[in-house]
Homo-oligomer: A and B are copies of this chain.
Amino acid sequence: MFSKILIANRGEIAVRVMRTAREMNIATVAVYSDCDRAALHVRLADEARGLGASPSVESYLNMDRVLQAAEASGAEAIHPGYGFLSENAEFARRCRDRGICFIGPPPRAMELMGEKTAARRLAARAGVPVVPGTGPQLGDSTEAERAARDIGFPILVKAAAGGGGKGMRLVTSPDRLASALRDAGSEARSAFGDPAVYLEKYLRSPRHIEFQVLADSHGNTVHLGERECSIQRRHQKVIEECPSPVMTGALRDRMGQAAVSMARACGYRNAGTVEFLVDRQQDFYFLEMNTRLQVEHPVTEMVTGLDLVRKQIQIAAGQPLGLTQEEVRLRGVALECRIYAEDPEKGFLPSPGLIRSLSQPSGPGVREDSGIYQGWEVPVYYDPMLSKLVTWAETRSEAVSRMERALGEYRISGIKTTIPFFRNILAHPKFLSAELSTDFIEKYYRPDRSLPGREELREVAAIGAALYASRARASEAGRADRPESPWKLWGRWNGLRR
């Protein structure tokens, strides 16, 4: 087993990985950019190395600097977390070349799954259903239109190298196809440097259900059941749960077997996730494979009782899985809400800044994986996710009630967060009855729908503001707290205002 590892990431996932490393008696090395010098992951690490300036390309995405930090600290392995360098096959190769273990899959498997149409072909060969569609060679617009008619409208035009909704167009009738191909291709070129697009059947209101797999270097591959991640905003998952409310034992066996086949087909090792869309007839279609630890892995951990990061490290160190498919047992229900620094009242505008007061929820059935603390200034440079709030209970309705309780206990001021958004969603009858789909938020989220009792709290807010103002007025320093009006600033800058 390793005696020291470097975590090439920041925030909550860096903290998450360090926790398990410490439990395994492995020393941890944090890396940080300039603005992350006082971040929680740096505070909790055994060692810490600065990478450089705050923008990701000069720090967390800079392979040379990350590798230098690993060598300088004597780390034997690197855990990449998610995002940043986690799905970068070149980085994995460079680790290997320097004799540093990359805690993740082999570079070849990452590449195979990174190119969407190649992954689709591999799935089809492995006997795993894929959404009907084409490869990236579409030919001229007549041929493309013929292919589209064969699939049947509506269809999606998608970037072959794509992800995150970039280079994607929904086409509902043949006459819009040509322009959609042109727009998507041009967007794909600027986003990924590759204009290749392909066609895929558009499923209406599908569920997003993914399977966690683990594969060791001794030929053992198992799945750990599914996660339903249908609640998405801007193609980003925001609430995940395990198990899926629509799952049956038989369907789990079939989908799990498909997930294991995909992992075997690409020579996978370590933890990975096979994503599917599931339609109303419970037919499932391979979507893509994520070759890393997922943000939402804790819901699987709560329900299976396994520590996925421990498994990742053990697999990377060459240990056998020590777990058969029959030994994987699911118990109860877990939910996760991703808490973002965004203002739900202003169209989810980013809300970086100083956390002035904070109390985090705890107690029975609550886990928080967080990268923040009171007094921390959330930087403007990175993803706005602050923490992941996870609840577990024997039943789904209890897990939902527990999440509502935990969200209500979560108090943060100084920045805006998506906590009120989640309280709104969780209180929706369609959420409680588990009628989930990837267009749930479009269909049901109403930002102006107040929680019961909110109006009474508004009055209390007014009193709180007055109490604060009375203190501020009493002290000389009070004024300094409040930024000046931009109007005044403007006037000072260019003399337009008198």
Chain A residues packing against B (C-beta within 8 Å): 15-16, 19-20, 22-25, 44, 298, 301, 305-307, 309, 331-332, 359-360, 362-370, 373-374, 393-394, 398, 401-402, 404-405, 408-409
Min Cβ gap A73→B in Å is 17
With most chain B CB atoms within 10 A of its CB, the pick from A307, A393, A405 is: A405
Q: Is the CB of A362 within 8 A of B364?
A: no
Residues of B within 8 A of A360 (CB): 360, 362
The residue on B at minimum CB distance from A358 is: B374
**In the complex, how many angstroms separate the beta carbon of A195 from the nearest chain B beta carbon?**
43
Q: List 21 A-B contacts (CB under 8 A).
A: A16-B363, A16-B364, A19-B405, A20-B364, A22-B405, A22-B408, A23-B401, A23-B404, A23-B405, A44-B409, A305-B394, A309-B364, A360-B360, A362-B362, A362-B368, A362-B370, A363-B367, A363-B368, A363-B369, A364-B367, A364-B369
Which residues of the partner chain B approach A369 to less than 8 Å between Cβ atoms? 362-364
- Give the copy number: 2
3 smallest beta-carbon distances between A and B, as pairs? A23-B401, A19-B363, A22-B405
Cα A398 to Cα B25 with chains together (Å)? 11
How far apart are the CA atoms of A20 and B365 in the complex, in Å?
Answer: 10
A363 cross-chain contacts in B, Cβ below 8 A = 15-16, 19, 367-369
Question: Within 8 Å CB of A402, what residues of B?
Answer: 23
Give CA–CA (A369, B363) in the complex, Å. Answer: 5
Question: How distant is the Cα of A147 from the Cα of B307 in the complex, in angstroms?
Answer: 56
Contact of A331 among B305, B368, B404 (CB under 8 A): B305
List B contacts of A398 (CB < 8 A).
23, 307
Q: Which residues of B contact A332 (CB under 8 A)?
A: 305
